[in-house]
Amino acid sequence: MIQFSNFEKKTKIIFKNKSLLEQAFIHRSYINENASTKLSHNERLEFLGDAVLELIVTDFLYKKYPNCTEGELTALRSALVNAVIISEVATVMGMNDYLLLSKGEKKDNGKARQYILANTYEAYIGALYLDQGIKAVDKFVRESLLPKTEEIVAKKLWRDAKSLVQEKAQEFINLTPAYRVLSESGPDHDKHFTVGIFFGSNLIAEGRGKSKQEAEQKAAEMALKVKNWMD
C-alpha cells in the first residue's frame, strides 16, 4: 500500500484530511479497475486545482512584470502552466511514485504519463486548497513551480514558435509561412503526423507530432533554427 505520509514528509505539508491527499493521486483508470473501492478519482480536484493555479500564476506574473502587455502575460502564463513544465515539477517532487493507476497505465511511461503527472499536480493543488486554503497553495506553487519563470523568460520559451516564425518571415522576406501535412501514420488512436513549413513553394523544415498542431509547432521551431531567427 502506498504510504502518503512519506510524501507529506518530503513536501513538509501535512494534510488534515488524508483522504483528500490520497484522492489527488487516484487516476480514473485505477477506479475502473477497482470498481469495488469506495475511493473517487482525482478529476474534480484537478478541475478545482487548475483554476486555483491559474489565479496564483496570473497574480504572480501581473506583479512581477508590470511592463508586460496582456498578450505577453498570457503567453508567459501558458508557457508556465503547460503539461511539460508541470510534469517536470511533479517528477522532481516524486509524485510519480505515489500514483494510483491501472495495470495498463503503469506500463506506459511516455507522453500519457506526462499528462497524468501534470493533472495530478493540479489535483494536489485542489486538495491542498480544500484542506488548508489559498495561502498554503500560494506557498506551495511559489516553491515548486514559479522558480521555472526565470528559465522560461531567459530562454524566451514563452514565445509561440508559429507566431514568431510568422513575424520573422514577414519582417525579413515579406512572406506568410504555410503548413502542409506531408505524411501521417498509425491507427486512429495513435496517429503520427509529419508537417512541412513552406515559404512560398520552398520547404524550409519539417516537424513531427501526435497531432497536426504539435507537428506544426515542431516545424516552426526547426524553421527558426534553420533561418537563424531564434535571437
Residue 209: partners with Cβ closer than 8 Å, 6 or more residues away: 192, 193, 195, 215, 216, 217, 218
- Segment 52-60 mean pLDDT: 96
> What topology is assigned to 161-226 in CATH?
Double Stranded RNA Binding Domain (3.30.160)
Instruction: Choose, from 22, 50, 216, 221, the residue flagged as catalytic.
Output: 50
The string of pLDDT tens digits covering residues 154-186 is 766 666 778 788 888 988 999 999 999 999 998
Average pLDDT over residues 16-32: 94
Which architecture, in CATH terms, is 4-154? Orthogonal Bundle (1.10)
For the four alpha carbons of 61, 65, 67 and 71, in that order, the dihedral sign comes to negative
| pLDDT of 38 higher than 70 | yes
Annotated binding site for Mg(2+): 46, 119, 122
pLDDT at residue 17 greater than cutoff 70: yes
Domain ranges of the chain: 4-154, 161-226
User: Closest by alpha carbon to 24, among 134, 100, 96, 123?
Assistant: 123
Give 31's Cβ-side CA count (13 Å radius): 13
Catalytic status, residue 167: no
Asked if 50 is an active-site residue, the reply is yes
Q: CA-to-CA distance for 79 and 15, rounded, in angstroms?
A: 30
* Equal fold, 4-154 vs 161-226: no
Name the amino acid, one letter, at 57. Answer: V
Distance CA 174, CA 199 (A): 10
Catalytic residue among 72, 97, 108, 122: 122
Q: Where are the beta strands (DSSP E) in the chain?
A: 178-185, 192-199, 202-209
